[in-house]
Amino acid sequence: MKTREEAFRPPTRAFRCWMRYGLARLLRDCRATVAIEFAFILPVLCTMTFALYEVTQGVICYMKVVDVANTVADLAGQTSIAQSGLASTDFDNLYIAGKLVMTPSAGSNLGLAIANVYYDGTGQNPTVGWQVERGGAAAMANVTSFVNGLGTAHGSTIVVKASYTYTSLLNYFITSPIVITAQVAEQPRNLLPRTYCLGTPSPPSNVGQNC
């Protein structure tokens, strides 16, 4: 029968050397280093990828909203002298054109506000001639201040404000809807200032309806 000292005697010198050799060999082993590093970096890469995708989609949507405002203002400013003005159906068509610009994004979230501003003989005192909203957009309250300094004698300006509620598809980085707006001003191309001193005409489609 072994004594207590024999049962708990320290490891031999050969065993200690083998342990040191095995530990050193384990530390030098690099066969699983790449897998371990990839396991650590994978969550960071996924987060960066999702964030980059959502931010990119948001920027693209913002650029499309700016394009909508510019496109609608340009189309509205092409009203010719031979036309009687922009009627209710014309504004409907402009709204449809704006939704097409938003493709492939859903155009149902698009709102448009279109206004006409005219100036006096000195190119000052901007006055709102009419304002039309489509897609549930709110009327612009800053029309005259937005065109301050853009007036010409007996001239006019078309002001368009486009708004769009952007909702991320992944809902990972951008977790709540963001309202994107863009407002632009465009001068009519084919109107003679003194002939149309009140800017682009917009006759009401029926009695009691104000364009």
What is this structure's pTM?
A: 0.74
Most confident of 58-72, 104-118, 174-188, 197-211: 58-72
Residues in the chain: 211
What pLDDT is attached to residue 192? 75
- Least confident piece of the model among 19-28, 38-47, 86-95: 19-28
Unique residue bearing structure tokens 């698009």? 110
From CA 157, how far away is CA 185, in angstroms rounded? 6
Mean pLDDT rounded to a whole number for the chain: 82
Model confidence pLDDT, tens digit, residues 119-136:
998 989 999 999 999 999
Instruction: Specify the DSSP class assigned to residue 57.
Output: H
Q: What is the sign, positive or negative, of the torsion defined by CA atoms of 171, 111, 64, 128? A: negative
Q: Hey, where are the domains in the chain?
A: 34-186
CA dihedral over 138, 74, 148, 126, signed as positive or negative:
negative
Which of the pair, 24 or 26, is modelled with greater confidence? Answer: 24
